[in-house]
Chains A and B, each alone.
Chain A
């Protein structure tokens, strides 16, 4: 079974530029998550989708971050414009359902904002 796919793996941009990350979850997983992991910390949830609907985006900085999951499968996370403090690893995860199911993570995208 294929795991969670993410691209790109690495991205370097200058502040005020925009960037987009892509995620394809495990087939059949209805729930998709985007996390931000700053160096030395645990992942922090940015947004959670159930199929193509948003379940929780309370910690998403909506003035600059946006995400969509068209057709309830793959998803895109965008940052526009980027700030220095956005430098982090962006992890995508998927699970069968919302509650108590283990989440399976992709390899992440390491973003460096200079």
Chain B
């Protein structure tokens, strides 16, 4: 069965600090897809990234970077030089092939203090 664990419930950092959000997943499939979504106070989930299980290259997009390690079943998300606008709940999610639903972790609430 699929499972996504985000052990950090809440994180608080001061602006310009770097912060890493952890995500550990469980799946029996060798093919799967991992996602990160951001949910700002407005409530709308915003898609950030999708990664398939065969692509272990790390990805960087501006201040955001993702570290995918199959050996530890982790897909961690780092924000460099955090800003107040990064304050939100961040969700990691897992999808398997076929008509299986997207499974979300419980989310990590990030607060960036000016």
Interface residues of A (CB under 8 A from B): 33, 40-45, 48, 55-56, 59, 89, 91, 93, 98-100, 102-108, 110
Given known pairs A100-B33, A100-B50, A100-B95, the reply for A41 and B43 (CB within 8 Å) is no
Contact A99–B47 (Cβ < 8 Å)? no
How many angstroms between the C-alpha atoms of A6 and B33 in the bound complex?
27
Q: B62: CB under 8 A from chain A?
A: no
The interface residues of chain A lying within 8 Å CB-to-CB of B64 are none
Q: Are A99 and B101 in contact (CB under 8 A)?
A: no
B95 CB, nearest partner CB in chain A, Å? 6
Q: How large is the interface on B (under 10, 10 to 19, 20 to 34, 35 or more residues)?
A: 20 to 34
Shortest Cβ distance from residue A91 to the other chain B in the assembled complex, whole angstroms? 7
In the bound complex, how far is the Cα of B102 from the Cα of A59, in angstroms?
13
Q: List 7 A-B contacts (CB under 8 A).
A: A41-B107, A45-B102, A48-B101, A56-B99, A104-B47, A107-B44, A108-B43
Complex Cα gap A28–B14 (Å): 42
- Chain B neighbourhood of A104, CB < 8 A: 47
Bound complex: CA of A26 vs CA of B95, how far in Å?
A: 21
Q: Is the CB of B99 within 8 A of A102?
A: no
Q: A42-B91, A100-B50 are in contact. List 9 more A-B contacts (CB 8 A).
A: A41-B106, A42-B105, A43-B104, A48-B99, A48-B101, A99-B97, A99-B99, A100-B97, A106-B44
